[in-house]
Amino acid sequence: MSFTLWFTGLPSSGKSTVAKRVENELVQEGIKIHNLDGDDIRGKLHPDLGFTKEERGTNNKRIAFIADLLNRNDVSAIVAAISPFEEYRDYAREMIDNFILVYTECPVEVCKERDPKNLYQKAEEGEIPNFTGVNHPYQEPENPEVHVNTEEQSPEECKEAVLKHMREKGYLEEKRDEHSNMNEKDKKKVRNRLRKLGYLK
C-alpha cells in the first residue's frame, strides 16, 4: 500500500532531517519510496515561482500532484515542505488517498538558532520578503496525523513517532518480538538465569 508522508513546519524546524531518517528506515524495510524535498522541487521544476500565498499554494499543489502520481504507480512519497497554509495542506489531503501529515513543531527562536543560511536574520533585516516565521504567516495544523516537537525530541525520537503511527495504521508491519516464539519452559529458564545473575529479583 503506497502512501505520502507530508512533513510541514517552520524553516529550520527539522522537517528534512526527520524525513530523511524516516526514509532511510523505510528503505531498509523494503518500501519503494521517493523523497520530494520542497526546496529541490521548487528549484528544479518551477524556479519562476515566488513566495506569495498564491505561489506557495501553486507549489504545494504541484508537489501533491507528483506525490499522487507516484502513489498511483505503487511508489510511496515523502514530502518535506513548509506548506504554511491549511487550505493547501487540505488540498493535498483530498488529492492523495493515503496521506499522513507530520507537523514538526519548533519555536521560531530555536529555528533561528539552527538556521545555517541566516535566512531569518536576512528576513528581519528586510532582505527577504514573505519569509515564513518572520514576515509571512504559518498556520499550525489543526489535526496532523503525527505531531512531534523537534526542540524537545531528538531526530531519532521523532522518527520513531512517525514509524509508530504508520505501524498502528497498517502502513508497516509490526516489529516482531524475537522472543515471541519461545515456549513457557524456555522463558522460565531465561528468567531463572537472569535471577541468578542478579538482573531480576
Q: Judge whether 83 counts as a catalytic residue.
A: yes
Whole-number average pLDDT of the chain: 90
Range of the domain at 51: 4-176
Domain count, the chain: 1
Tell me, yes or no, whether 28 lies in a domain: yes
User: For 184-189, what is the mean pLDDT?
Assistant: 72
Tell me, yes or no, whether 75 lies in a domain: yes
| pLDDT value of residue 145 | 98
User: Which listed residue (12, 13, 83, 180) is catalytic?
Assistant: 83
Determine the 3-state secondary structure of 50 from DSSP.
coil
Type of residue found at 169: K
User: For 23-40, what is the mean pLDDT?
Assistant: 91
β-strands 146-149, 33-37 pairing: unpaired
| pLDDT value of residue 196 | 76
CA 141 vs CA 69, 105, 138, 145: distances in Å: 24, 10, 9, 10
| pLDDT value of residue 181 | 59
Express each pLDDT in 118-129 by its tens digit.
Answer: 999 999 999 999
- Residue 25: exposed, middle, or buried by beta-carbon count in 10 A (0-12, 13-18, 19+)? middle
Provide the CATH number for the domain around residue 147: 3.40.50.300
d(CA 10, CA 7): 10
